[in-house]
Amino acid sequence: MKDIAIIGAGGFGREVAWLIERLNNVKEEWNFVGFVDDDETLQGKEVSGYQVIGNIEWLRNQEINVVNAIGDPIIKKKVIERLKDSKNTYPVLIDPSVIHSDKVSFGEGSIICAANILTTDIKVGKHVIINLDCTIGHDATLGDYTTVLPSVNVSGFVETKECVSVGTGSAIIQGVKIGANTVVGAGAVVVKELPANCVAVGAPAKPIKFF
């Protein structure tokens, strides 16, 4: 079995631990060694029965498999950049229930949770999170560090640039592009291109804030 650690001991980190358990129920592949988190109050404690074994700086000197369970795309990217000189590797974790064709490419470190469907000719970037019960349509591209929250519908030919966050229950119609670092609010319906560095909400989704 291969050692693996999870960055982030919060709610989604615990869900990823469960994902690893589900994978091991099918095939014993992963030895989950514990969580890594910069919260000093968690050091040495147990979270959902697993140890918090160190902080992110500790990972710089390791050589193990790591997945990043930080949901915020920009923070997720910063953490990976802190570890750029480490010898760790970033496997792809795909829940056994996921349906996808062999024409989907997954970038390193991506986490695909239960009950997702990805059809054909899809590109999933590095360190992408697709949370529970989403559909990703043909020819879609999810940029590096994108986070797709539960029950999102992404139509064909959609493209998200890096560090996009797509809120729970939102829908993106065919061919729409979403700029880097943009946040799509929960329940939004994206019917036209969204610029970079904004928060967009509503149906149809419109930017309400730029940063």
- Do the beta carbons of residue 6 and residue 69 sit within 8 Å? yes
* Given 22, 78, 138, 177, the catalytic residue: 138
Q: How far apart are CA 97 and CA 67, in angstroms?
A: 19
Asked if residue 175 belongs to a known ligand binding site, the reply is no
Given a contact cutoff of 8 angstroms between Cβ atoms, the answer to whether 148 and 162 are in contact is: no
Residue whose entry in the numeric block shows the structure tokens 């996808």: 100
Q: Is 138 a catalytic residue?
A: yes
Nearest to 128 by CA among 170, 200, 73: 73
Q: Do residues 183 and 167 lie in contact, with contact meaning Cβ atoms separated by under 8 Å? A: yes
Q: Residue 150 has which token pair? A: 């539960």
Give yes or no for a cis peptide into 150 (omega within 30° of 0): no
Residues marked active site are found at: 138
Q: Which residues are annotated as a binding site?
A: 71
Annotated binding site for substrate: 71
